[in-house]
Structure 1
Amino acid sequence: MAKPTAKERVLDSYEEILIEQGPGGVTLEAVAARAGVSKGGLLYHFGSKEALVDGLLERLSRLSDEDLEQARKAPEGVVSWYLRTAITDATQRKPLHRTTMATIRIMLNEPRVFEVVQIYNQKVHDLISEHVGDSLTAELVILVGDGLYLRSALGRDDASRLLDRIDEIKARIQP
């Protein structure tokens, strides 16, 4: 695996501070120190806090698009894949999960973050609707997935035990 670039380390550090401390903990100095770069090095890649938000949103969009592509290609089907990854993404701390958690921390303070999240949510809804045949069933699948994701993100053991029952859950949502 390739060593992360300075720019990637800065974004990783920004995410970590957002997750641990929220927006109030973010200073350019703190992000630079955590990333192991000078403040000038940070400013080279991200000229302001707003540019850090832009970088986070670009990362979220890229990771989300990659995630949707994996769903489309999943041998078990989109719905099973969506429900299964709602649990495993959080417990395995995949990059999309970490970026999502960081994004949630700033969503209330940054309307443009909310807009990007809404776009991704619509893409998820459209993909699931395409595979289940109707909008209401898609909403139910998403709600179950959101609940599983939240339980898993909060460290609830019962979420991971449900992995073995994904087919049963899917059958109850989409008979």
Structure 2
Amino acid sequence: MPTVRDRVLDAYETLLIDHGGASVTLDAVVAAAGVSKGGLLYHFASKEALATGLLDRLRERSAADAEAIRNAPDGAVAYYVRTSAPGGASPGGLTRTYLAVLRLADSTTTGQAVRDALAKVDADGYAALLDELGDPVLAWLAQLVGDGLYLRTLTGTPMPPDMTVDDLLDRMRQYAPRRQ
């Protein structure tokens, strides 16, 4: 069963994704989470503290995902590309948290902290890809492919007809084989 803190953060994520940062209030989070105002304020004393809590969650989930990338049986590139493709969200909630945090990026009060957290997520993924590939250019190219697929996921744009993620990975492996 999720803790009150997790329920609050889950509700905050949903509200951010559905309505954007400017329209989310503490009262809306209380209602969506099904907690008392005191329960919310015990964990997050302000809207800024709530945003900080979400950024902490993003960093935690990013670190766990980077570990999953490194330990993926099919390799880091395959994991990164598959979880970036439409329908392939990362386990552990990173994709959802990342999307919610994106909705905070233009905030004047939390904007820089959000950009810093997103840069950390990017660095975690890149480092895991670099561990496998050993070449910074190939690691960055693999990350860009994953980022492009992730953008398609966010916008609902499908893969090109008659192409699958496996087709993409097969071609990528020709140019970026796993280090032994």
Same fold (TM over 0.5): yes
Task: Give the conservation status (yes or no) of the 8 Å contact 1:83–1:144.
Answer: yes
Q: d(CA) in 2 for partners of 1:151 and 1:93?
A: 18
Structure 1 partner of 2:74: 76
Task: Give the conservation status (yes or no) of the 8 Å contact 2:4–2:35.
Answer: yes
Task: Give the conservation status (yes or no) of the 8 Å contact 2:77–2:129.
Answer: yes
| Residue 119 of structure 1: how far off its partner (Å) | 1.7
Structure 1 partner of 2:135: 134
User: What is the RMSD computed on CA atoms of the aligned residues?
Assistant: 2.1
Task: Give the conservation status (yes or no) of the 8 Å contact 1:103–1:113.
Answer: yes
Q: d(CA) in 1 for partners of 2:129 and 2:54?
A: 25
Provide, for residues 135-168 of structure 1, a one-character-per-residue CA deviation record: whole Å limited to 9, x for no partner. 1111111111011111122222327952232432
Structure with a larger share of its residues in helix:
1
For 1:129, give the aligned amino acid. Answer: L
- How many residues are aligned here? 172
Task: Give the conservation status (yes or no) of the 8 Å contact 1:84–1:166.
Answer: no
Unaligned runs of 5+ in 1: none
Q: d(CA) in 2 for partners of 1:170 and 1:54?
A: 37
For 2:78, give the aligned amino acid. Answer: S
Which of 82, 85, 104 lines up with 2:83 in the alignment?
A: 85
Structure 2 partner of 1:119: 120
Unaligned runs of 5+ in 2: none
Provide, for residues 41-100 of structure 1, a one-character-per-residue CA deviation record: whole Å limited to 9, x for no partner. 11111110111011101111111111111111111111111111112444x886111100
Q: d(CA) in 2 for partners of 1:8 and 1:145?
A: 28
Structure 1 partner of 2:21: 23
Partner SS for 2:74: coil
Percent same amino acid at aligned positions? 42
TM-score normalised according to structure 2 size: 0.87
TM-score normalised according to structure 1 size: 0.89
| Closer/same/farther in 2, CA of residues 169 and 108 from structure 1, 3 Å limit | farther
| Closer/same/farther in 2, CA of residues 95 and 104 from structure 1, 3 Å limit | same
Structure 1 partner of 2:176: 174
Task: Give the conservation status (yes or no) of the 8 Å contact 1:14–1:31.
Answer: yes
